[in-house]
Amino acid sequence: MSRPFGFQPDRLHCWLFGPGTGELAVVYVPPKQWLVVDGCQHAGSSWAVRFFEELRAADQRLRRVAPTHLLLSHPHLDHAGGVAELIDWCTSQNHRPKLAAIPRPSNRSATLDDPMEFVASGQAQGALNAIGKWWKSDPSTRWEIHVGVRRRFGAGELTFLSPEPGTVASARAHARAGRSIDWNELASAVLITWKKTRVLLGSDLVNKCWAAAAARLPAGPVHVLKVAHHGSREAQHHDVLGRLEKVSSVLCTPFARQDLPSFDDDEGADLLLRRTRWLELTGLPHKVGQQAGVARTLARADLLAEPHGFICDDPKDFPSSWVKVVADGNGRRSVTRGPGSVRVVEQL
C-alpha cells in the first residue's frame, strides 16, 4: 500500500481518497507545503492520519512529515470525517498547521448570530470546535479565507475562489432568522498553481455560486480538477468545463447515498467526458466495503446498468479507493490508481 504513495520532492502531488465517511484531498507543493482539504474515515480511523503515518514509514525523508495547512471546505459529514482526529494527531506530534474553515470557527458559545449552531453533523461540529480551540490557544494557526487573494504557497500560489462575502452574509442572516443553510453554497473552492500546472479543488460548490468563482480563474486551462460535489450535474459549471483539455486529469469521489456520480446522458459524468478523455473515480457509488480489489477501466454505458459483478469484497488494505496525480516542472503528469479506483471512458 505504501509503494503507490511513492513521493518525489521536486514534483507536485495530488491525492484524492474516497469513498468512506468523507472525501479527502492532499496536495503537496514543492518545497515542503502539504495541504489537506476535508477528511475521510472508516471504522473510526482517520484516513489522513493513516496517510501521513504511511508516508513516514515508507520514506526516511518524510519521517516527520505532517500537514502544513488544513482546510475544512464546508461542514458536511461527507467532508468532515476524520478532521478532528487529524488535528489531535498533529497535536500529539507537536505540530501546528495553519487551519481554515467554513464557517469561520467561533471562540464563544453559539448564538443565532453564529451559523455553527446550524451544523447538523456531530463530526462537522467536532472539526470546527477543534479548529476554534487551536485558533484560541495559538493564534499563529489561524488561516483566514480571503477570497480572490493570491498567496504564496511553497514555490507556487494558492487562491481561495469561494465563498462570496455576500453569500456568507446571507447565511448569517438565515441563521439569525432560524432558517436552514445550504452549506454547499458556502463551500470553499481552491486553485493551486505551481510552475505549468493548475489544480482546481471544487469542494461541493454548486452551480449558482460557480460563476463568480470561475471568474477568478486566470486565463488558460485547468490541468487537474477535483470535481465538485461528487460529479453531480448541479455542480458542473460550463465555465469550469470549458477550462478542461482532453488531457486534463479529472478526479472524482463517489457518494453512495445519492448515487453520485450519475452515468446517465446529460448527467455529470457525461458532461465531464465531453471535455476530457476519461474520468478518474476513486471508486464506485457503493459503500467502502463494496469496492474492488483491482483498478478497472469501464465505459459509461456499462455503468448505467451497473451489474452486481462490479461489487467486490471488502478491500484488505487501507485505503483501496484513491487516485494520485504527479506533475513535474514542465507540466508532464502521471496518474497512479488505487485498487478500488475506476477509470470511466465514453467507449472502450
Residue 273: its H or E element: helix 268-273
CB atoms within 10 A of CB 321: 30
39-63 mean pLDDT: 90
Nearest 5°: the CA angle 17, 18, 19 is 170
Backbone dihedral angles phi then psi of residue 99, each to the nearest 5 degrees: -125, 135
- Hey, is 318 helix, strand or coil? coil
Residue 284 CA to chain centroid, in angstroms? Answer: 17
The residues with which 151 forms a beta bridge, in sequence order, are: 158
The residues with which 160 forms a beta bridge, in sequence order, are: 190
Q: Is the pLDDT of residue 289 over 90?
A: no
Do you find a cis peptide bond into 261, omega within 30 degrees of 0?
yes
In the CATH hierarchy, which top-level class contains the domain 11-345?
A: alpha beta
Instruction: Domain ranges for the chain, please list them.
Output: 11-345
- Tell me the CA distances in angstroms from 343 to 51, 176, 299, 339, 340, one per residue in order: 22, 45, 8, 11, 10
pLDDT digits (tens, 9 = 90+) for 235-286: 999 999 999 999 999 999 999 888 899 999 999 999 999 999 999 999 988 8
Do you find a cis peptide bond into 163, omega within 30 degrees of 0?
yes
Report the phi/psi class of residue 121: left, alpha or beta, with left for phi > 0 and alpha for psi in -120 to 50. Answer: beta
pLDDT digits (tens, 9 = 90+) for 100-121: 998 888 655 544 455 655 565 6
C-alpha cell at 211: 460563476
pLDDT band at 32 (very low <50, low <70, confident <90, very high): very high
- Tell me the CA distances in angstroms from 235 to 211, 229, 244, 299, 341, one per residue in order: 11, 6, 15, 22, 22
114-141 mean pLDDT: 82
192-210 mean pLDDT: 97
CB 339 within 8 A of CB 315: yes
